[in-house]
Amino acid sequence: MSVQCGIIGLPNVGKSTIFNILTQMTVPSLNFPFCTINSNIGFSIVHDTRLIQLKNIVSPNKIIPTVVKIVDIAGLVKGASKGEGLGNKFLREIKEVNALIHVVRCFKDDSIIHVQNRVNPIDDIDIINTELIFSDIDLCEKNLSILNNFKGQNKQLVLEEKKLLKKCLLNLKKFIFLRKLNFSFQEINLIKKFNFLTLKPTIFLLNISEKKENNIYLKEVKKFLNNDIVNIICPTILNKIKKKQNIILKLSKIIYSIYKILNLKTFFTVGKKEIRAWSFIKNSKCIDVSKIIHSDFKKGFIRAKIISYIDFIKYKSENSVKKFGKLRLEGKNYLVQDGDIIHFLFNL
Ligand SMILES: Nc1nc2c(ncn2[C@@H]2O[C@H](COP(=O)(O)OP(=O)(O)OP(=O)(O)O)[C@@H](O)[C@H]2O)c(=O)[nH]1
Ligand SMILES: [Mg+2]
């Protein structure tokens, strides 16, 4: 299953335009608010130059890169958490994704409608952030009320959940996003089930129309977002670039930011039939990573043959890697490293 990333922001700020660039699709991106009502779904290829290096050595029939699923979610307006605009539908869709790309209009163009009738990126960010926070406050209060009336057995768990929800509520009311807080290992396990919006890893994507140097908003917005991951995109320039390779380079930066916030790394499977890249969460055990390929691999896991990418590039075949003592056999608890080339041995 691929990682899902949702594009959010005010209506008419360029979300679908950016979705089209990221996925090479052509969904409508027209100059009126709520052009997108039902979310669009597409995939963005994770261009990894290591695949090309591996291809040059192995000459496989096929190369399969890994992908990120991109969801273009309808625009959000002030009051969404109370049902304004497409309100709760929008918020429900955000719940489904693993990470968020928050698109901010940083271009001045009087011909493009702004729902607030002015261009003010910091205020726009604030509107979206407020709605996300309100939605999480609501979620905290609802769950606290359920727990307060809980008559069942597991009293200790209820106490811990209540303590955690109170900590969340206190911070949300101070306008602090949950992703900015420190949580203990135990709290992290408990908090997952609530699926808070302000806990989702987020990158900000500033949508500009001209060269960075000429944009009047960037400096101030970057300062405002100084503790967040910020990328800049210029659809007008990107759409004029003829060389596909140059577009890929620009997009890779955005995709890799997503990898970074989600703590994702890549491993490879390499054979004559195909070379394939797979993403996994950093510090995962070998047995858990095996399941990404097929659940049977986990069920019947014996061990894994591992070659690091660097060694494969250096020695150029499994046989010579072996000869130089660089092929390793690892068990289920081995922590998979970025760039590992893995061959799982399993028995069913
Ligand atoms: N000048 C300028 N126009 C842009 C830019 N990005 C998007 N637009 C235009 O802004 C309008 C809205 O773009 P969309 O991509 O549909 O915006 P959206 O955020 O998906 O809008 P909704 O689906 O209605 O929420 C379109 O006419 C785009 O061509 C930009 O960087 N500069
Ligand atoms: Mg749209």
Cα of 254 from ligand 2 centre, angstroms? 19
pLDDT for 335 equals 98
Integer Cα distance of 299 and 85 in angstroms:
47
Chain segment 99-158, per-residue pLDDT in tens: 999 999 999 999 999 999 999 999 999 999 999 999 999 999 999 999 999 887 888 999
Cα of 114 from ligand 2 centre, angstroms? 13
Tell me which residue has its CA closest to atom 8 in ligand 1.
14
| Pair 345, 327: CB distance under 8 Å | no
Q: Is 40 in the pocket of ligand 1 (CB under 6 A)?
A: no
| Pair 198, 177: CB distance under 8 Å | yes
Atom of ligand 1 at shortest distance to CA of 35? 24
pLDDT for 340 equals 98
Amino acid at 79: G
Mapped to the 3 state alphabet, what secondary structure does the chain carry?
CCEEEEEECCCCCCHHHHHHHHHCCCCCCCCCCCCCCCCEEEEEECCCHHHHHHHHHHCCCEEECCEEEEEECCCCCCCHHHCCCCHHHHHHHHHHCCEEEEEEECCCCCCCCCCCCCCCHHHHHHHHHHHHHHHHHHHHHHHHHHHHCCCCCCHHHHHHHHHHHHHHHHHHHCCCCHHHCCCCHHHHHHHHHHCCHHHCCEEEEEECCCCHHHCCCHHHHHHHCCCCEEEEECHHHHCCCCCHHHHHHHHHHHHHHHHHHCCEEEEEEECCCEEEEEEEECCCEHHHHHHHHCHHHHHCEEEEEEEEHHHHHHHCCHHHHHHCCCCEEECCCCECCCCEEEEEEECC
Cα of 97 from ligand 1 centre, angstroms? 22
Which of 15, 16, 17, 217 to mutate to test ligand 1, by most ligand atoms within 8 A of the CB atom?
17
Q: What domains are there in the chain, each with its CATH number?
A: 3-261 (3.40.50.300), 283-346 (3.10.20.30)
pLDDT for 204 equals 97
Atom of ligand 1 at shortest distance to CA of 75? 25
pLDDT for 87 equals 64
Ligand nearest to the CA of 102: 1
Which of 7, 12, 93 to mutate to test ligand 1, by most ligand atoms within 8 A of the CB atom?
12
Integer Cα distance of 73 and 18 in angstroms:
12
Cα of 28 from ligand 2 centre, angstroms? 7
Q: Is 236 in the pocket of ligand 1 (CB under 6 A)?
A: yes
Q: Is 171 in the pocket of ligand 1 (CB under 6 A)?
A: no
Closest residue by Cα to residue 133 from 41, 202, 227, 185: 202
Sign of CA dihedral 161, 162, 163, 167: positive
pLDDT for 1 equals 61
| Pair 120, 113: CB distance under 8 Å | no
Mean pLDDT of all residues in the chain? Answer: 93
Cα of 178 from ligand 2 centre, angstroms? 27
pLDDT truncated to tens, each residue of the chain (348 aa)?
Answer: 678 999 999 999 999 999 999 998 999 899 898 888 889 999 999 999 999 999 999 999 999 999 999 999 988 888 877 777 666 777 888 999 999 999 999 999 999 999 999 999 999 999 999 999 999 999 999 999 999 998 878 889 999 999 999 999 999 999 999 999 999 999 999 999 999 999 999 999 999 999 999 999 999 999 999 999 999 999 998 888 888 888 888 888 899 999 899 999 999 999 999 999 999 999 999 999 999 999 999 999 999 999 999 999 999 999 999 999 999 999 999 999 999 999 999 998
268, β-bridge pairs: 277, 341
Closest residue by Cα to residue 77 from 139, 9, 175: 9
Q: Is 30 in the pocket of ligand 1 (CB under 6 A)?
A: yes
